[in-house]
Chain A
Amino acid sequence: MLFLAMKQLFSKKTQTFLILMGVSFGTMLFVSISGVQLGLREYMIKALLNNTAHIIISGAENEITEKEVRSQIYPEGRFINWITPPGGKRDESKLESYLGWVEILRANPDVYDFSPRFSTNVIIKSKKIKTNVNLVGSLPKKQIRISEISDYIIEGDFESLSSGGNKIVLGVGVAEDLGVSLGQFVDVLNAFGKITPFKIVGLSKFGDTRTDSALAFAHLSDVQKVNRTPGRLSEIAVSLTDIDKSEELAELWSSFSKDKVQDWRSANAMFMEMIKMQDIVRYFIMFSVLIVAAFGIYNVLSIMINQKKKEIAILRSIGFPPKKILILILYQGFFLGICGGVVGLAMGSLVTYGVGSIDIGVELGGSNHIFVSYDYSIYLSAFIAALFASLVASLIPAYMASRMTPIDIIRGQA
């Protein structure tokens, strides 16, 4: 039947080519739109994970509750109508047991690596210019392993922080504000006004002006010293081997610890909503385009069946059963789906490559091109969708053709 199906398809070359193009363009659009959207998403997630991590373990908020105040003042449990209920924080949040977490994280095979961090707000000063910065202290080698931070260093080297000794990586915006460059020194002022000189060993650029103008990195122990809180940690950033397990593990660890354990998705719920919206739009576009292509296939096959009625009658009178007629038409739909899909994938990948080559004139994450994705899942879902649409579109004409009896057609022709 494949032989006959191909003969029929190629006897109408223009018609076949046009419908093939319809399927191909649908597939191409989906691949290229998805490539750009997913590329952007990958970039945004990467950028996001540099500031956060798959899972962040931080100290729980130490808040004063109305209940504990009431039990202290009125232990007999009287009803109190507060004019202003007691509240506020008892102390700043601290990670309770770093070593306990180290033990848990090392024992878990899903944990790729983790990095203890301590962040504090400082003022960085150069000559008379000052700027407020969030100074993040980490163990540089571990930080490099759990994030893509190295990709965002546009000058110098993040690993230079490893040896400690008051070295700093400044956000490019901070450096611009202070008018400093690589190799120069800046003064870091803590909350007590104490100045510590730091040498600039790198400049980072995340592409977000607010981040780049308010972020700096140093070695963990240097930041702890600046803040006069040796040994204190604000958080542990955890990287997993499978990012999709972040929610499950965060929930598990939360269940046995007072510390706050948050996965990156719940920490960025709004961002995830945006991604969901993007996905909906992407699938809507694919659905619409493929519906149009499917209607094209349906029309072509229906017209073809009308034109080939007498040939179907001949095949039936020769002894071809309805099942074979059904297969004959389905093969044609299948062929249109496979070929249209493959051509569409190739065209889509070329368009994606073309879009990815566009120079946007801004260097982000080590590249100054539009971020695109060539993830296999895009190509797989586009191909499956093209094939599915083609098969569904050819099913009705195929069924119609298989129901034709030779005698009805012959009488119709007479």
Chain B
Amino acid sequence: MIIGKNIVKEFGDPPHRILHDLSFVIQDGEFVSISGRSGSGKSTLLYIISSLDFPSSGQVLFDDEDTSLMSVEHIHEFRTNHVGFIFQFHYLLPELTGLENVLLPPRNIDRVDEFRDRALELLKTMDVSKVADKLPSQMSGGEQQRVAIARALIMKPKYLFADEPTGNLDSANGEVVMNILKSINKERGTTLCLVTHEEEYAAMAQREIYLIDGRMSERG
């Protein structure tokens, strides 16, 4: 369970407040979308929830553990083992093949061989087995994003965070990616937090957090 308590985020000097005293609970296995207009603070909130960033004040608790109190080693271990990220721009390492990209998180803990079969299986599930030995430059945008999803899932994370995963794809590929994410949430019970500005995809979530100028308006 993820609990957000009075989250405030400010940037700059003098401080400009992006998020205003947000509190929420995301249950295990829940699919929550964060949507809003451009500049509403939805990506900032996702980064804070996912431990990539920290609030100016307030707390984010993962199963009662405050991320801002975790040691550097612990937060990296936490990200490797419990969190999966999917970004809008895929962010695959261009010099690595599809399979090598998927195996990046196990490489961080020196367990590549142990996860090789799972990586191949995930690529198959995502229907991108054929790009296992190809470099990102030889893949289409949709294929790259599916490889990125496989990478996010390789460590069987409890939490999956996706920041506009369809934002850089055409509608057909966008739909494929959204279906994959939804099935991951449903079949594997992975908690899914999705940032999107597309209402159609936001509506696929069990619950929607709608942000207006950094203030929450929950609906769903």
Contacts and interface: CB of A to CB of B under 8 A. Distances in A.
Interface of A: 3-4, 7-8, 10-11, 310-311, 313-315, 317-322, 324, 406-407, 410, 413-414
A192 B81 CA distance: 103
B95 A3 contact: no
B182 interface: no
Dominant SS among interface residues on chain B = helix
Given A7-B96, A319-B77, A410 B87 contact: yes
Contacts of A319: 76-81, 83, 105, 108
B79 A407 contact: no
Nearest to B78: A319
Contacts of A406: 52
A318 B52 contact: no
B113 to A, nearest CB: 12
Contacts of B43: 414
Given A7-B95, A311-B93, A407 B108 contact: no
B108 A324 contact: yes
Contacts of B94: 11, 311
11 contacts: A8-B95, A314-B93, A315-B104, A317-B52, A317-B79, A318-B80, A318-B104, A318-B105, A319-B79, A407-B53, A410-B87
Nearest to A9: B95
B24 interface: no
A-B complex: 4 closest residue pairs judged by Cβ atoms: A319-B80, A11-B95, A319-B79, A321-B76
B107 interface: yes
A106 B105 CA distance: 72
Dominant SS among interface residues on chain A = helix
A379 B15 CA distance: 58
Contacts of A315: 104, 108
B89 interface: yes
Please indicate which of the listed interface residues A314, A320, A414 has the most CB atoms of chain B within 10 Å of its own CB. Answer: A314
**Interface size class, chain B:** 20 to 34
Nearest to A6: B95
Contacts of B79: 317-319
Contact of A413 (B77, B83, B89, B95): B89
Contacts of A10: 95
Interface in B47-96: 47, 52-53, 72-73, 76-81, 83, 85, 87, 89, 91-96
Contact of A318 (B47, B95, B96, B108): B108
A317 B162 CA distance: 12
Nearest to A7: B95
Given A7-B100, A314-B104, A318-B105, 19 more contacts: A4-B93, A7-B96, A8-B95, A310-B91, A311-B94, A315-B104, A315-B108, A317-B85, A318-B85, A319-B79, A319-B83, A319-B105, A320-B76, A320-B108, A321-B76, A407-B47, A407-B52, A407-B53, A413-B89
Nearest to B105: A318
B80 A311 contact: no
Contacts of B47: 407, 410
Contacts of A4: 93, 96, 107
A310 B89 contact: yes
A17 B155 CA distance: 36
Given A319-B80, A406-B52, A313 B108 contact: no
Contacts of B105: 318-319
Please indicate which of the listed interface residues B52, B53, B89, B91 has the most CB atoms of chain A within 10 Å of its own CB. Answer: B91
Contacts of B93: 4, 7, 311, 314
A198 to B, nearest CB: 80
A7 B108 CA distance: 15
B107 to A, nearest CB: 7
A144 B104 CA distance: 69
B107 A3 contact: yes
Interface in B146-168: 151
A10 B93 CA distance: 13
Contacts of B80: 318-319
A313 B93 CA distance: 11
Contacts of B107: 3-4
Nearest to A319: B80
A333 to B, nearest CB: 18
A4 B101 CA distance: 11
Contacts of A322: 72
Contact of B73 (A8, A11, A310, A321): A321
A149 B80 CA distance: 73
Please indicate which of the listed interface residues A4, A315, A319 has the most CB atoms of chain B within 10 Å of its own CB. Answer: A319
